[in-house]
Amino acid sequence: MDKAIKSNIVLIGMPGAGKSSVGIVLAKRLGYGYIDGDLLIQSQCDKTLQRLLDACGPEEFIEVEGSVLKGIEANESVIAPGGSAVYSDEAMRHLTEIGRIVYLELSLDELKRRLGSFENRGVVLKNGIGMSLEELYAERKPLYEKYAEITVNVDGTSIHEAVLKVEEALA
């Protein structure tokens, strides 16, 4: 595989793990571009994530998200797809081909502390509206672990500390 093709860094993890915040700072420190998957979806669909979710439901949203992520062509960029990107095998296969997958891991307790309520955050609840944070965590954690090439635990870290941990893990 051409080394240049795999020159991106892809940050995956739960909502609230810091994918966007860590991604922006990491990109600046590395002199890389930054791509926010959620913003790409919003811009291509001309709707907020929550509006898109409300309009089409979780299954169709996952298809839209997968399609948008599969279309990313980048080099030397930090890519922060949405937390639900792991529901699309095709999208994750593409992201794995173009970058190193770094899982920003959080404990459930830390996630609860950071997120509080996630009702209006545009979080994809694959199994329905009544899904608890615990159930969402239990459903997604194995998917993040499946795709991760590198896992960085970010419990109790500031954005700067998390960035340093990611840089160290990538070295």
Per-residue pLDDT tens for 46-93? Answer: 888 888 888 888 888 889 999 999 999 999 999 999 888 999 999 999
pLDDT on residue 115 = 79
CB 133 within 8 A of CB 112: yes
Q: How many CB atoms lie within 10 A of CB 53?
A: 19
Q: Does residue 171 lie within any of the structural domains?
A: no
Q: Phi/psi at 34 (nearest 5 deg)?
A: -135, 130
Owning domain of residue 39: 3-165
Classify residue 69: in a domain, yes or no.
yes
Q: Which amino acid is at 51?
A: R
CB–CB of 83/36 below 8 Å?
Answer: no
pLDDT given at position 27: 98
CA distance 26 to 78: 7
Amino acid at 83: G
Specify the number of domains making up the chain: 1
What is the rounded distance in angstroms from the CA atom of residue 43 to the CA atom of residue 17?
23
Q: For residues 75 and 9, is the Cβ–Cβ distance under 8 A? A: no
Helix (H, G, I), strand (E, B) or coil at 116: coil
Q: Is residue 115 part of a domain?
A: yes
Query: How many residues are listed for the chain in this entry?
Result: 171
Residue 82 lies in a domain: yes
Residue 170 lies in a domain: no
Is 92 inside any structural domain?
A: yes
With tokens 């194995």, the residue in question is 142
Its pTM stands at: 0.90
Give the SS3 label for residue 7.
coil
Q: CATH no. for residue 37?
A: 3.40.50.300
Listed in sequence order, the residues at least 6 apart from 49 whose beta carbon sits closer than 8 Å to its beta carbon are: 38, 41, 42, 82, 122
pLDDT by 10s per residue, the chain, length 171 = 444 458 899 999 998 899 999 999 999 999 999 999 999 998 888 888 888 888 888 888 889 999 999 999 999 999 999 888 999 999 999 999 999 999 999 999 998 888 776 555 556 566 556 677 888 899 999 999 999 999 999 999 999 999 999 999 999
pLDDT of residue 159: 95
Q: Which pLDDT does position 153 carry in this prediction? A: 97
Q: Is the residue at 76 inside a domain? A: yes
Residue pointed to by tokens 């672990």: 145
